[in-house]
Structure 1
């Protein structure tokens, strides 16, 4: 659908244009799909005497008195009266123009919530307008807005867009001829077998609902008009995912299977297995087989490897890298932080360097803080193709990095990368000159993304429908259970005493803080202050400090000291959230645990329990001014205390935060669901999953139009 200019452009200020752009209201269809948060009933007048406390009502009354009172604080108090009684209006914030509009004798229509009080009925900051003209025929919509965009102006824009837009039905006629979507037939707000509402009718209704509609069906989105919108949205989302998978199936990728004339007596992955001091679990072997089958195909693998903290994803990645290298192609592994990338580099170097050295090949390291000479040598090895495995941070995707023959990309903690960074790695192709490898050009590398935050089934069915998913659903033997305790901030000194005793007995601990330095905005303990406190409270122990602003060399020195057992307590920010593996560390203290997300708490807890000693995670929480924790914080901490299962943690995290936050919407760039709810709209989701591939095959024009209507220009984001 073509992008039409904004309606009412002649009086559009820069502030309004900025607000519209921020809300993504660029086309008529965007305005029409910008649906109300709630509604106010201004279609009727309620006599003051009939108003009940807590009611949202509209009254029509004359101003008896208007004055500014200074006690107990400055406020405008207006008394109004109709034929049935009086009501007092209070404004704690007001302008002279408002005072003038509410001068004695003025007749007003007033909309607000009725409160009881010593002085009778009151309204606080009600909406005021002149008592003139007919009453509205529909409920008044209240839209999501941004600074600089008045509700009244947005209402006018949407009304104009509704008048001038022509909405083509994109659901196939065979679907529209059937009864409505599954939840309607199941009795969610409409009679069984209700017909589909036409899309244009549904939109007109939701922007201007009749006053006799049951408000509950609008608020809980169970009305047939809402069901049509949710069905449309879920179908667009599923179409986009199936389309991406369909497009990817048509692309070329190297078939990563070892050549028949391989010189080594054993394939590289078998040599690695022989060197490892442990055996793979059944789940790891199953996942390795799934990946091997995928990358042996001449089309790009796009697979998500999920497994709980400590389930052994790194060794699976190493096995995939071995298959890639044996096939004569390079592999790149990118991690979000230098600490995590370095952990991977050390482990992979330990496992693979001796094997690669026999082939005159190597593992390369690329990070932002590298010395110029070292970086130049690494870049040369990567470009020449002698560095067969390249490990690093986002430095791996900088323009200066030229791969000779990139066949496989591994991305750890993929949700922590921006979508542009993931796309950049996907688009890396062979940069070799036109020689025997010229046929490599235009091929996409295979991609394996790893996450320690398991994806609940409902999210896998929606946002990850275009991915193959492999799951490591068992932990290696020898992992000790982690005991989780909730301790109030008031017992902090007692905790430090007990920790000092543990450290004196040779145990090591992490102490995680949410900030690095003092912040006036947040009253939280910070890492540097806690580091100094613990040094004073535990004079016999060596305390280390680690945070993201430290020079790379200092970070490495601290981590080396902690890994070697020289540092008893490591005070850190969330820089140690992933990748840090110190088996002797058996205590994790998380300060201000109520401020952390559930998946983040689980990741931090996973840093302990990696050795033979019993491990503990202490969630140190602070209560608010009222001595209570907020409901959301309480739910998070309770979940942490009740289970160590990462899949259950992920399910509860999704319940608490919703899909947008869970996925890190700001990083993903993906179009998240605005109207549908993954908990209550399972039947609609299943309906959309079944219809999407059928539409792409049989009605490709309608499918394309449907996606353009709902997704606009967000295609690139969906490909990442």
Structure 2
């Protein structure tokens, strides 16, 4: 058998970029284009322009001030220009000898010494000029543009670019789009007469074709995975009159809001069907998603099955555990069933006991972290899986939870919860295969949170504000972004802040919580804060989700400009959980020029202007784009490379309407289309 040939560095780099098939190369489109189709005279050039000139070298020497550099002076008959190279080889100096002619391309700068170019691209003079713009591709260190251009060109020539749109469909698109081969050939090598703005803002008809293709592939794969799931079977869990859910509702110390009642009914309808539920429960911070999950669990348990609830952090899992034990344990005990708890930090003996309870079925509800999906966890009869803060889990983890049913002919029902609401355009695209339930109403008695932006220089006034809150018997969070000092990010660390606040607030218990602490220590700190003995809790973002201390009325977020918008909103939601007026103070630190970046400014402005999680999510999507909003690795969804959900809403609507027709009437074309665009990535959509 012949030996497998080792890949060269550029080939490895191509694989790293995911460019393994001819079609991948054909769809690897330029970041920008350079115009090498014409030579400009220096006399006709403007400052700041990227130009190409053809000129003769009149001087070539090494200068040593302000630093070592090769300085080459050239003349083209209409003017002169200095070329500066800060890194160069002796061979370069030799090639640029006085009297030789070359083409130089780069950005033209004007200075006291006349025209200058820094590190221009140098090519031989006299060669035929290209007839199309030169593409510049996204790449990595070991993959030169010249190699990538050749690879893309050969991939484009070999790729199967035959039309996968059903007959007559292209005509339904406005503006009239190009054919796929024509569009790709043009975008890789546009003619110089094209308006650069139409290329760069992606409004050109060639771009429209690619966006339409991409959105259609995404809609087809989402719909296909939804139909595949609809063909699977799950236990039908009917809600009994006088059953566990009704008993739990009657014993809750509060009444459900209208929105909670509506989503409980939506979930109950899903659970009663034999088709697996695949529902996202979204609701703002503090809207009461946990009790909805408990009521769903009650339906599964009442039907004799098990339910698993998985949370991303131990603090959040433990909080769920405490609430669920409080609500469900008294109802389960008479039935001889229990709530089990599984985390990575458990002692071996306790873990063994919990695993036995899960396997025997005595554990009706299993609450935990990633530990719930480990191999040694064997459920007797899992019928419902609830995943909290679902965006914090990777796709593989969600798939693993679905594989926990012993009877492989059946799937558990899946309820995913998120306090990061999903804007409508995202729900239409990335979550097209999900049913979405929304709790759009906060429980009564919640006080609106006032948000203030405060510069770091006003720290003393802030500490005074904390003193007055403590004097009223309230508690305070102070959140820092890093645990340790970093030279790269000059941020005050949690440990230093803890020390400073302890000194500034004598007689007050100031606690410290961060991700590197042992679980038992974290637990002890949280118990003191929850119990009210601790006045101030200095913490990193481990408290971002799930911490519920109604007496805490002030949240201080240090270096707020470093946090993401949804993270800021999550942190703000830790206060305002009781009847007392609550505030969130965003402390920002301008840079040495006294400024905060435009992106950070937009985030802080959004926080100050609205408490509405849906509006926050919309602005977050606007600021970051869908790739970052979802987190490519976390969602596993094939992120859109070319289409923009806001700008291309009409194309998204077109793709949504065409996908079911295409799957029904042209299944072979649909398969080819999805394979072309997504390859193996469509597997992810099944999670």
Q: Calculate the TM-score normalised by the size of structure 1.
A: 0.93
Q: Distance in 1 between matches of 2:138 and 2:639?
A: 16
Partner of 2:387: 411
- Tell me by how many angstroms 1:22 deviates: 1.7
Q: Conserved in 2, the CA contact under 8 Å of 1:64 and 1:105?
A: yes
The DSSP-based 3-state class of the residue aligned with 2:376 is coil
Q: Distance in 1 between matches of 2:286 and 2:92?
A: 63
Q: Structure 1 residue 462 and structure 2 residue 456: aligned? A: no
| From 552, 565, 587, the counterpart of 2:519 | 552
Q: Distance in 1 between matches of 2:82 and 2:556?
A: 54
Q: Structure 1 residue 43 and structure 2 residue 10: aligned? A: no
- Tell me by how many angstroms 1:47 deviates: 0.7
Q: Distance in 2 between matches of 1:458 and 1:101?
A: 56
Q: Structure 1 residue 98 and structure 2 residue 74: aligned? A: no
Q: Distance in 1 between matches of 2:104 and 2:39?
A: 9
Q: Structure 1 residue 211 and structure 2 residue 192: aligned? A: yes
Q: Structure 1 residue 705 and structure 2 residue 681: aligned? A: no
Q: Distance in 2 between matches of 1:395 and 1:573?
A: 23
Q: Structure 1 residue 328 and structure 2 residue 322: aligned? A: no
| Residue deviations 1:69-90 (CA, integer Å, cap 9, x gap) | 2222332221111121111112
The DSSP-based 3-state class of the residue aligned with 1:64 is strand
Q: Distance in 2 between matches of 1:611 and 1:536?
A: 29
The DSSP-based 3-state class of the residue aligned with 1:571 is strand
Q: Structure 1 residue 146 and structure 2 residue 146: aligned? A: no
Partner of 1:595: 562
Q: Conserved in 2, the CA contact under 8 Å of 1:303 and 1:469?
A: yes
| Residue deviations 1:596-617 (CA, integer Å, cap 9, x gap) | 0000000000000011111010
| Residue deviations 1:456-492 (CA, integer Å, cap 9, x gap) | 0000000000000000001000001111111111112
Partner of 2:510: 543
Q: Distance in 2 between matches of 1:342 and 1:316?
A: 17
Partner of 1:693: 660
From the superposition, tell whether residues 672 and 537 of structure 1 become closer, same or farther in structure 2 (CA, over 3 Å).
Answer: same
Q: Distance in 1 between matches of 2:640 and 2:56?
A: 46
Q: Conserved in 2, the CA contact under 8 Å of 1:588 and 1:605?
A: yes
| Residue deviations 1:532-565 (CA, integer Å, cap 9, x gap) | 1111111121001111111111111111100110
Partner of 1:72: 66
- With 159-168 and 563-572 compared, the bigger mean Cα shift is at 159-168
Partner of 1:667: 634
- Tell me by how many angstroms 1:266 deviates: 2.4
| Residue deviations 1:300-349 (CA, integer Å, cap 9, x gap) | 11000000000000000001000111111100000000000000000000
- Tell me by how many angstroms 1:13 deviates: 6.0
Q: Structure 1 residue 279 and structure 2 residue 246: aligned? A: no
Gaps in structure 2 of 5+ consecutive residues: none
Q: Structure 1 residue 369 and structure 2 residue 336: aligned? A: no
Partner of 2:116: 122
Q: Distance in 1 between matches of 2:666 and 2:307?
A: 39
Q: Distance in 1 between matches of 2:111 and 2:136?
A: 28
- Tell me by how many angstroms 1:409 deviates: 0.2
Partner of 2:223: 242
Q: Distance in 1 between matches of 2:506 and 2:179?
A: 74
Q: Distance in 1 between matches of 2:268 and 2:95?
A: 75
- Tell me by how many angstroms 1:441 deviates: 4.1
The DSSP-based 3-state class of the residue aligned with 1:227 is helix
Partner of 1:576: 543
Q: After the TM superposition, which residues 218-257 of structure 1 pair with which residues of structure 2 at under 5 Å, given as runs?
A: 218-257=199-238
| Residue deviations 1:336-366 (CA, integer Å, cap 9, x gap) | 0000000000000000000000101010000
The DSSP-based 3-state class of the residue aligned with 2:111 is coil
Partner of 1:522: 489
Partner of 2:243: 267
Partner of 1:718: 685
- Tell me by how many angstroms 1:594 deviates: 0.4
Q: Distance in 2 between matches of 1:711 and 1:304?
A: 24
Q: Distance in 2 between matches of 1:100 and 1:34?
A: 37
RMSD: 1.4
| Residue deviations 1:240-261 (CA, integer Å, cap 9, x gap) | 10011011000011101157xx
Q: Structure 1 residue 497 and structure 2 residue 497: aligned? A: no
Q: After the TM superposition, which residues 418-433 of structure 1 pair with which residues of structure 2 at under 5 Å, given as runs?
A: 418-430=394-406
Q: Distance in 1 between matches of 2:97 and 2:592?
A: 41
Q: Conserved in 1, the CA contact under 8 Å of 2:239 and 2:268?
A: no
Q: After the TM superposition, which residues 23-62 of structure 1 pair with which residues of structure 2 at under 5 Å, given as runs?
A: 23-62=17-56
The DSSP-based 3-state class of the residue aligned with 2:199 is helix
Q: Conserved in 1, the CA contact under 8 Å of 2:63 and 2:71?
A: yes
Q: Conserved in 1, the CA contact under 8 Å of 2:239 and 2:245?
A: no
Partner of 1:683: 650
Aligned residue pair count: 684
| From 82, 89, 93, the counterpart of 2:83 | 89
Q: After the TM superposition, which residues 282-431 of structure 1 pair with which residues of structure 2 at under 5 Å, given as runs?
A: 282-430=258-406
Q: Distance in 2 between matches of 1:550 and 1:275?
A: 37
Q: Conserved in 2, the CA contact under 8 Å of 1:334 and 1:412?
A: yes
Q: Distance in 1 between matches of 2:492 and 2:642?
A: 39
- Tell me by how many angstroms 1:586 deviates: 0.3
Q: Distance in 2 between matches of 1:60 and 1:213?
A: 24
Partner of 2:531: 564
Q: Distance in 2 between matches of 1:353 and 1:421?
A: 28
Q: Distance in 2 between matches of 1:19 and 1:135?
A: 30
Q: Distance in 2 between matches of 1:13 and 1:358?
A: 65
- Tell me by how many angstroms 1:104 deviates: 1.7
The DSSP-based 3-state class of the residue aligned with 1:147 is coil
Consecutive aligned runs of 4 or more in structure 1 exceeding 4 Å deviation: none
- Tell me by how many angstroms 1:453 deviates: 0.3
Q: Distance in 1 between matches of 2:13 and 2:605?
A: 39
Q: Conserved in 2, the CA contact under 8 Å of 1:242 and 1:692?
A: yes
| From 592, 609, 623, the counterpart of 1:642 | 609
Q: After the TM superposition, which residues 596-615 of structure 1 pair with which residues of structure 2 at under 5 Å, given as runs?
A: 596-615=563-582
Q: Conserved in 2, the CA contact under 8 Å of 1:504 and 1:541?
A: no
Q: Distance in 2 between matches of 1:98 and 1:717?
A: 50
Partner of 1:201: 182
